[in-house]
Structure 1
């Protein structure tokens, strides 16, 4: 198998929650060419369980994220199986012993990639879907003078209490499988992964999506059960359970104010984001409802609320599932980049 990404060797990385990853690795891929002035940079972080190639639906000639115009950096989240993760870290921090990773940890090592490896001091745009949006908000709050624009879509600056509870259900389904063995599994906990997928299925798409039978009419599955098995179970079965749990913890503990800069003051952290922002919630997103984005935008000095008018729920934002939504997000990114 050919590897289409590179590894940035981070050395020993001390984490926010007290542990250290020794010989830490950040996997990344770039698209396009860095301009001589280094002024055409877009940072586009990955999402829950996603890897860089699963971000490519928004990159291409004629798109807002056009590699003929921009130098697009896609850093893989810690825990996603390519960067340092439970599945690829040597003992003793392997498997369920892999340390707790925050979004702050992710963005701090991404900042090192951008500045140390490429010598980039300024970024045009940071954008991302879902947990990519969480990281986008962190970029804006942690490095407010470093970028012109941010566009978090279908995500939040802080994991809401309701979102936290949803993820507890996902986690409980995965870890209830006896084969999970508290993370020391020999064979993958397939029953747990399938159960997790079924819990997720009720959240990833909206009530209206299912009411309109878009799983059959738009995506072409032969029945609801076919959709649950082929799409949802098929989505999670190839993934490593400990990796999923690491990223789930990162998600549940996502909070742009949970760091020494802001000391837990969310309004202060939002108020510190200087970049011009399009905050794009999915109109029917069950994880990240527009009301949460309204609160964020109200406390950001330079932000506009741009709801995605879609009944595709969270998946309005990715990963390229509905072409109409892709075109809407792409058009808004073009507007933002043109400003």
Structure 2
């Protein structure tokens, strides 16, 4: 096991449901310095685990473990932190409670403060649903978070993004005849169709038109769909996926007692220096949404990743996109927060 477990005890979620013996799986890189001010929090995205974040961590990179103490908390529902697949009855599989982005960040805050006694975070960074969590950190703990850098992640799920995620849920519901009482019959084989739905959204039209899947070692579109989308989704537990889809569909940094749904107010309340990096051709988390958000965050810069890799411009695959993200993170970390 290359990660650690932080036991949270019995947790009352935002829904009011109590999740017994909850826990976060996390991994740390580097060392916490004496002043405890070299902290970077780097949450995981939908379907990812901490290992998928490691492409952005390394010597001479912005997230340098020689310099920073990097904490990667795993998303609730991802199979390592409390999830439908690892929670005993009565909260197993389809009975796992709904968890929000707000819940995730609140529990990550407990990890950071209770386990490590950290009072300031230099940066919260993340891709996709990890980016949403970085926005939430900034809105939930404005005095604590000095910088945020969401890339290919929006602060509130738009109606169109909601429908894309609904489209990913549909093959699983179809597999049980849209009968929610039969959801526990789902298996990982049912995830094959979900991968095919995602394939059209994860990358841009231009990516496919220019056959960039050949760069990844696939000779045909059919091979790419099977070798990347089907295979990666069939490794996921369908109940975990349904939990994470719900979290994504209901993501909104203002949907909590702090802001009572006032989205603009939540954005304006973020005090962190922010570098917002959408993928210019992202079909999932459109750059337009991020542009709106960046205008309302007092200390934000809007830096689109000019790339035809769509949502996956933030996935750590294309070297030019990786360098753009890393360079912007280096610049952000070099800025003084005047404290």
TM range, smaller chain: over 0.9
In structure 1, what is the Cα distance between the partners aligned to 2:285 and 2:188? Answer: 29
In structure 2, what is the Cα distance between the partners aligned to 1:178 and 1:266? Answer: 36
Structure-2-length-normalised TM-score = 0.97
Give the conservation status (yes or no) of the 8 Å contact 1:122–1:146: yes
Deviation of residue 173 (structure 1)? 1.4
Deviation of residue 174 (structure 1)? 2.2
Render the CA deviation track for 1:261-302: whole Å, top value 9, x for unaligned.
Answer: 100000000000000000000000001111101110111111
Residue aligned with 1:8, SS: strand
The correspondence of residues 118-267 of structure 1 with structure 2, limited to 5 A, is: 118-178=116-176, 182-185=182-185, 188-190=187-189, 192-216=190-214, 218-267=215-264
The correspondence of residues 297-308 of structure 1 with structure 2, limited to 5 A, is: 297-308=294-305
Please, which of 316, 329, 336 is the counterpart of residue 333 of structure 1?
Answer: 329
Deviation of residue 189 (structure 1)? 4.5
Render the CA deviation track for 1:309-338: whole Å, top value 9, x for unaligned.
Answer: 1000000001x1111111110111001001
Render the CA deviation track for 1:81-117: whole Å, top value 9, x for unaligned.
Answer: 0000000000001100000000000000000000000
Q: Which runs of 5+ in 1 are unaligned?
A: none
Deviation of residue 182 (structure 1)? 2.9
Structure-1-length-normalised TM-score = 0.97
Give the conservation status (yes or no) of the 8 Å contact 1:276–1:302: yes
Q: CA RMSD in A?
A: 1.1
Deviation of residue 183 (structure 1)? 2.3
In structure 1, what is the Cα distance between the partners aligned to 2:94 and 2:182? Answer: 7
Give the conservation status (yes or no) of the 8 Å contact 2:176–2:183: no
1:13 matched residue in structure 2: 11
In structure 2, what is the Cα distance between the partners aligned to 1:220 and 1:174? Answer: 29
Give the conservation status (yes or no) of the 8 Å contact 1:158–1:255: yes
Q: Which runs of 5+ in 2 are unaligned?
A: none
Give the conservation status (yes or no) of the 8 Å contact 2:188–2:236: no
Give the conservation status (yes or no) of the 8 Å contact 1:96–1:182: no
Residue aligned with 1:121, SS: coil
In structure 2, what is the Cα distance between the partners aligned to 1:154 and 1:167? Answer: 15
Runs of 4+ in 1 over 3 A off after TM superposition: 178-181
In structure 2, what is the Cα distance between the partners aligned to 1:80 and 1:170? Answer: 16
In structure 2, what is the Cα distance between the partners aligned to 1:29 and 1:298? Answer: 33
Distance 1:234 1:303, change over 3 A: same
1:71 matched residue in structure 2: 69
